[in-house]
Amino acid sequence: MDIGISIGEYGEFTEKIIELAGKKKGGYVCVANSHMIIEAHDDPEFARVVNNADIVTPDGMPLVILLRILYGKKQPRVAGMDILPDLILLAARMKLSVFFYGSTDKSLRKIIARASSEYPELIISGTIAPPFGNIPSEIIKEHFIEIREKDPDIIFVVLGCPKQEKLMAEMSGQVNGIMIGIGGAVPVFTREVKRAPAWMQKISLEWLFRLIQEPGRLWKRYFYTNSKFVFLAIKEVFSNKISKNRDSV
């Protein structure tokens, strides 16, 4: 549609992110689902933000299905909920340091508690819970000065789409670590929200499982983004208008 999706096997994505972390040249990774697709469709500037990322993973099953229909690509899903624990595991094994930016102090404590318990060798450079709402630019700069001083290899940005992607684009080149937006994965990692069973994930109903758990917060977003995504997907299939296809990871 309006953004290019990176393709490849699941393991190639995590390997590439670890490779980028080791190079210490900055950059960022977007984890794309139907919500991000619609945000990019509605906002050309945001589409540019996503398309400038080093990697854009196909998180949502609807994207995986659409890649198969439009391109004949049997692309596996590369979900943030899987990437987060796997990158933490790989970082611990390879002695790479991580930093968590975003969310709340409470959630960050839960992230650190689980990560430290399950991966005791993990090097955690630090955490920052920014103020809720729009973060003043001067505060962001102060935060990233701190991050730059601690020089982590991987920076997990936990602000939610599209806020985290815009911030990563703004800060790209100002920190040496690779940034990755994983806002939607954190509640599952901290066990504040249960993940959908495997059968629901496979038939593209994980969103419904999340909606049942958090109807008040998610119903408006899901109603708009899911409905519009289905409409645009059908339109794209029937018009055979192929959008930009990213390179393999």
CA distance 128 to 28: 18
Residue 36 has pLDDT above 60, yes or no: yes
- Per-chain mean pLDDT for the chain: 89
Q: Percent of the chain at pLDDT above 70?
A: 93
Give domain status of residue 4, yes or no: no
What average pLDDT does the segment 133-144 reach? 90
Which helix (H) or strand (E) element contains residue 122?
none
Give domain status of residue 248, yes or no: no
Residue 87 has pLDDT above 90, yes or no: yes
Residue 5 has pLDDT above 70, yes or no: yes
Note the pLDDT of residue 62: 86
pLDDT digits (tens, 9 = 90+) for 196-245: 788 887 777 777 777 787 777 766 777 788 788 888 888 877 776 544 55
Q: Percent of the chain at pLDDT above 90?
A: 63
Give domain status of residue 137, yes or no: yes
Give domain status of residue 35, yes or no: yes
Give domain status of residue 3, yes or no: no
Give domain status of residue 243, yes or no: no
Residue 247 has pLDDT above 80, yes or no: no
What average pLDDT does the segment 132-154 reach? 93
Give domain status of residue 123, yes or no: yes
Instruction: Kindly give the residue spans of alpha helices, DSSP state H, lying in the chain.
Output: 10-23, 34-42, 44-51, 61-71, 80-93, 105-118, 137-150, 163-171, 186-189, 198-202, 206-213, 215-239
What average pLDDT does the segment 6-12 reach? 95
* Count: domains in the chain: 1
Range of the structural domain that residue 202 is part of: 10-231
Note the pLDDT of residue 230: 81
Give domain status of residue 2, yes or no: no
